[in-house]
Amino acid sequence: MTNKPLTVFLANPRGFCAGVERAIAIVERALEQYGAPVYVRHEIVHNRFVVESLEAKGAVFVEELKEVPEGVPVIFSAHGVPKEVPEEAERRELFYLDATCPLVSKVHREAERHERTGRQILLIGHAGHPEVIGTMGQVPEGAILLVEDTEAAHTIQVDDPDNLAYITQTTLSVDDTIEIIAVLKRRFPAIHGPKKEDICYATTNRQEAVKEIARRCDALLVVGAPNSSNSQRLVEVARREGCQRAILVQRAADIDWDALAGIERLGITAGASAPEVLVEEVVTACREHFDVTVENVSGVVEDVIFKLPKELTDKVAIA
């Protein structure tokens, strides 16, 4: 029996962003330069395939700094960490490398600047996400209030409506965030915002690419991890654009083929922490179930590159 035809629309851009590529390169270069083991506080990026690949090379992932022994390098994840983490590392005289995405660091600096000028800060983001924990940890406790959705934006109480600023997590839904900001600006006309929006270029570009294909698809697969904020947002964006069968899968083995029965057009994209090899794996799996024609849908061409820390380019030795 011949397989039914299936047109696969590959979203562009998709997968790794510059911040993720930099974070992974930091771990790999540290392993080359200092040898295994190299410890990493929290998953370097939210993708099990990436984490397990680095573990196989000698990286050891831990949740807290207290799990890191003396005399080995430790790396902080791309999501950023509260100030207390590098401070503790310095107290213990640990050699550490900071893989925080530069676009997350930009938000950290914004928070510090607003706090120095005495503004109360509203952070638009998701409670418990490592990036939010890291950003809130840049300033004294209580200086930042978290706004998770439009309902919170309508109800949040502030000390001084004329002395406010907002910042955002970098991996949010662009459309949801616009709605939340609109509510805050209506309630607090004097609120200060960033000169350039905090949502990162890669998050924005991947969401736009999904919008481009979602209405043409019977179903859409987002390759990414359940704890990846930007991957979860891609599912939401696809559904908002009319593709209700938008499904998050970590890799090909997770695909529920019954849920894809009868489809003729399938969109595929990947979150910013998902490697292209997993997209290729999903396309290969599709070929086993369908007669596949792949159409690459053109989008923004990304050319952003972030430099590695000077410790890895200047061959700094561990004391």
Contact 65, 43 (CB under 8 A): no
Handedness of CA 53, 55, 59, 64 (dihedral sign): positive
179 among known catalytic residues: no
Q: Is the pLDDT of residue 317 over 70?
A: no
The pLDDT value given to residue 313: 82
The pLDDT value given to residue 314: 75
Q: Which residue has tokens 């997993």?
A: 278
Q: Is it true that 5-16+201-296 and 103-187 share their CATH fold? A: yes
Reported as a single tens digit per residue, the pLDDT across 95-116 is: 999 999 999 999 999 999 999 9
pTM (2 d.p.):
0.94
Q: What are the CB-based long-range contacts (under 8 Å, 24+) for 229-232?
A: 229/46, 229/126, 229/129, 229/131, 229/169, 229/171, 229/172, 230/171, 230/202, 230/203, 230/206, 230/271, 230/272, 230/273, 231/46, 231/270, 231/271, 231/272, 231/273, 231/274
d(CA 8, CA 293): 6
Residue 316's pLDDT band, with cuts at 50, 70 and 90, is low
CATH number for the domain running over 103-187: 3.40.1010.20
Residue 197's pLDDT band, with cuts at 50, 70 and 90, is confident
The pLDDT value given to residue 319: 54
98: β partners: 76
Mean pLDDT of 122-138: 97
Q: Is the pLDDT of residue 315 over 80?
A: no
Domain made up of 5-16+201-296: CATH architecture: 3-Layer(aba) Sandwich (3.40)
Percent of the chain past pLDDT 70, that is, above it, reads: 98
d(CA 152, CA 159): 16
Reported as a single tens digit per residue, the pLDDT across 298-311 is: 999 999 999 999 99
Domain topology for 18-101: Rossmann fold (3.40.50)
Mean pLDDT of 198-210: 96
The structural domains of the chain, with segments of one domain joined by +, span 5-16+201-296, 18-101, 103-187
Q: Is the pLDDT of residue 1 over 90?
A: no
Reported as a single tens digit per residue, the pLDDT across 166-176 is: 999 999 999 99
Q: Which of 21, 110, 131, 241 is catalytic?
A: 131
The pLDDT value given to residue 196: 85
